[in-house]
Structure 1
Amino acid sequence: MAERNNTTPHTVWFPCDLAALADGSALYGYAHPETRQLVVVGGEEQGRLQPGAQRLGWLEPAAAELASGGGAGSADGGLVARRGEGNGALQFRWQGHPCHGEPYDLEADLFSRHQGLLESAAMGQCGVIVCGCGSVGSLAALDLARSGVGRFLLIDPDLLAIENLCRHQCGLADVGRAKVRAVADRIRQINPRAVVKVHSTSLERVDPAVVAAFADARTSEGERTPTLMLACADSRRADRHAARLAAALELPFLAIGLWERAFAGEIFYSHPDTPMPCYGCAFEGLPDALGSRNEPARRFYSSEADLQKLDVQPGIAIDIAYVTQIGLKLAIDLLNRANPAHVPRLLGQLSQYTLVCNSNDPRLGGERAEIFSHPLQVTTSIQVAHGASCPPCRWRG
């Protein structure tokens, strides 16, 4: 890219439907003086949804005089947009100087790199209920947003703490905020048009009717849109509750969990299209050597002395991400089960209950590390059967 200097015109990236705003509307977005780039996200409504978005200026009618760089925009950031004569094309000035305008179309441009891999329109209708927005859930939510998922219901009771930052997708500015709100803001920065609903509590405390309403979203043709129940909590108890609710609502279910020190993790899925064992069945007959996930203690702002007294499960972000990414490939497949154009990545290749190994070194995983023959192993051999206590695995009784 050519070096930019003080004579290089600013570039204004703006939504192609910006001209639909009323005359006098404030324009919100981001200014990057070092690269002479301006990004307009829209009017006041869009600006409220974008963390850190500033009022850059105003949209003025074609009759406004811009020669001196004056007008409403000069006092509120310096960006002035005017409707051009005749065709109404927008013209921009920043601090009195003409700018180069670059329109963008969220529908066409945002997911243009997915062409031939994922159908953006279909993905935009998909919904995901993310139960747990910690290290696994925050990564899952943001990567699914990047994949084009357009609807999110985020559920988590916790606040973001300092010690979360080395594994979470949010940063220092979000410490002390509800995790669901911090993650929601990050999703909207990826896709401003995403529909994001948040509940800062546990799934057990959310009214099931709220979850049912989210899952019952319809297309313009009246068809039910694909929705996935994604369990990313820190215990099987919470995941089991999510599985029960998913079965009652006839939703596909996916659980992603990490073992201690994140030396390994587990992935479990089910869907209502074919009779298959449920989450409860998966752990009814498994030996104790498999799937021993401890529920870590919750803590906020603890001193080092307090930290030594707590049972906090360590694990680095890179190891957590490896397990999570494999699970997310399944998530994409589960959402696109009815899409004949979709090429499955892992659905049909992995067993319902899959173990993913980061390291088989006993110094990290203890004796259970020995069940893996090599690092980065993904099992395909573990089979789960219908449990005696819950046929036909619909959790109804």
Structure 2
Amino acid sequence: MDYSRIENVVNVPTLQEKRVTVFGAGASIGLIEDLVRSGVRRFLIIDFDRVGAENMARQGHDSADIGQFKADAAKAKIMEINPEAEVEILTLDLTKVPEDVAATYVAGTDIFVAATDSFACQALVNRLSLMLNVPVVSVGIYAGGTGGEAVWTDPIHKLPCFRCLCANRYAAHEQQLLTAPNVSLDPSSQGADIFSVRLIDAIAGQLVLGLLTQGAANRYGRLIEQLGDRQFIQLSMSPEFALNGRDIVREKLQVPEGNEAYVTWNSIALADPDRGQLPCLDCEQIRRHKFELVDGHYVRRIPGQRDSGTSPDAVVGGTVS
């Protein structure tokens, strides 16, 4: 492939040596294809589901793919773009096997992409990330397709994990298991059209490139440093976007009502969406982080690291009410 038109913004030689593991090969097909076009050529694609006719309207699958495993269909599309790509597939539900076994399947990867609406799978990917010190980009579309999120984590830099950033989500799922275990809180794909999918995937793809080429002297090499600890990106994709009745994008951007320039397609990047990152079980169990209550706030203690006051690596300001 000829990368001459993009080599000034992304470190293609570095990408060609990286291995990307993608959990979910449905709506992520466009993202996978674009990563191939950007220079990634080593993949592990994990999906136990098969392509159905309903997938054609909102995913990048074709009629010839119907009945195939989505992972097989994804591999074929990768090889069509770059015949020199190295692609492994796994048609297994890793949430059904022990964590240590799941870890052996995904060992040797450089980044995880959690492109699934399954909370159980996203939770597993977070734990695997901490176990193997692998960064993650998690992608999600909100109900109705009016908004979405792309969340990046990088345990090597001791930043908060996905569970830290989504503490309220974890609590809701845990409560649901206790009160109505047969009812899923996973968002429905109803209304999540292909344009909404492609919008959030474009952001996720840039995060993947940024994480894989950190430190390079170009735009993507600087991206993660520029984001700092702002790991939770949310995007409005419709003038009707609202979460719990609130347009949180407008609120965070402090756009007043009546501003005619504000409609939609705006994003925010948050460092602490759940306001506190209260003690995280995954960080305690896997990273051996400690959470101490100090003056009504939780403080994260990282083994071997001196408390640096307000550093996001050392202190997490969770207020106890």
Aligned-pair CA distance for 1:380: 2.6
Separation (CA, whole Å) in 1 of partners of 2:285 and 2:62: 40
Query: Alpha carbons of 1:352 and 1:115: their partners in 2 closer, same or farther (altered >3 Å)?
Result: closer
Match of 1:275, as an amino acid? K
Aligned residues of 1:354 and 1:382 also touching (Cα < 8 A): no
Match of 2:18, as an amino acid? C
Separation (CA, whole Å) in 2 of partners of 1:396 and 1:273: 11
3-state DSSP of counterpart to 2:190:
coil
Aligned pairs (5 A) from 1:155-304: 155-204=46-95, 205=97, 207-212=102-107, 214-215=108-109, 227-285=110-168, 294-295=185-186
Report which of the two has the higher share of helix: 2
Separation (CA, whole Å) in 2 of partners of 1:337 and 1:185: 29
Aligned-pair CA distance for 1:207: 3.8
Structure with the greater alpha carbon radius of gyration: 1
Q: Deviations over 1:224-262 (max 9, x none)?
A: xxx111101112221110111011110111101010111
Separation (CA, whole Å) in 2 of partners of 1:132 and 1:383: 26
Separation (CA, whole Å) in 2 of partners of 1:166 and 1:184: 20
Residue ranges of structure 1 left out of the alignment (5+ in a row): 1-108, 216-226, 297-310
Query: Alpha carbons of 1:285 and 1:176: their partners in 2 closer, same or farther (altered >3 Å)?
Result: closer
Match of 1:358, as an amino acid? M
Aligned-pair CA distance for 1:367: 4.7
Separation (CA, whole Å) in 2 of partners of 1:349 and 1:338: 11
The one of the two structures with greater contact order (alpha-carbon pairs below 8 A, sep at least 6) is: 2
Aligned residues of 2:24 and 2:114 also touching (Cα < 8 A): yes
Q: Deviations over 1:57-112 (max 9, x none)?
A: xxxxxxxxxxxxxxxxxxxxxxxxxxxxxxxxxxxxxxxxxxxxxxxxxxxx4323
Identity %: 25
Residue ranges of structure 2 left out of the alignment (5+ in a row): 173-183, 251-262, 289-321
Task: Report how many aligned residue pairs link the two structures.
Answer: 257
Aligned residues of 1:336 and 1:342 also touching (Cα < 8 A): no
Query: Alpha carbons of 1:172 and 1:286: their partners in 2 closer, same or farther (altered >3 Å)?
Result: closer
Q: Deviations over 1:308-346 (max 9, x none)?
A: xxx652221011111111111111000011435564464
1:112 aligns with 2:112: no
Matching residue within 39, 64, 70 for 1:148 = 39
1:321 aligns with 2:198: yes
Q: Deviations over 1:192-239 (max 9, x none)?
A: 111100011223247421211x32xxxxxxxxxxx1111011122211
Matching residue within 117, 127, 131 for 2:19 = 127
Query: Alpha carbons of 1:339 and 1:325: their partners in 2 closer, same or farther (altered >3 Å)?
Result: same
Separation (CA, whole Å) in 1 of partners of 2:4 and 2:16: 13
Match of 1:370, as an amino acid? D
Q: TM-score, normalised by structure 2?
A: 0.72
Aligned-pair CA distance for 1:140: 1.6
Query: Alpha carbons of 1:372 and 1:294: their partners in 2 closer, same or farther (altered >3 Å)?
Result: farther
Query: Alpha carbons of 1:366 and 1:231: their partners in 2 closer, same or farther (altered >3 Å)?
Result: closer
Query: Alpha carbons of 1:332 and 1:352: their partners in 2 closer, same or farther (altered >3 Å)?
Result: same
CA RMSD of aligned residues (A): 2.7
